Amino acid sequence: MPNIPKTGFLRVRHIIGDEKADPPIPPIIPVSRSTWYAGVKSGRYPRPVKHAGMTLWRAEDIRALIEEINRSEAA
């Protein structure tokens, strides 16, 4: 599993990657920003939480999503 903390929060750029960051952030889930937010809206991806004006995702939810994706790919 990618280097995701056991607890805490991730911003969208940590989930889908940011090649323009210095250093570049590799994607955990390689989809576009619009695909990610469409998946959040449809319920395919976890819902975010708002904190201090930021949109964040729980690390636990992203770990669970990755496990679900891995299970469906193995089937």
Is the CB of residue 18 less than 8 Å from the CB of residue 25? yes
For the stretch 13-69, pLDDT in tens is 999 999 999 999 999 999 999 999 999 999 999 999 999 999 999 999 999 999 999
Confidence category of residue 1, pLDDT binned at 50, 70, 90: low
What residue ranges do the domains of the chain occupy?
9-74
Q: How far is the C-alpha of 68 from the C-alpha of 75, rounded, in Å?
A: 11
45 contact partners, CB below 8 Å, separation of at least 6: 29, 36, 39, 65
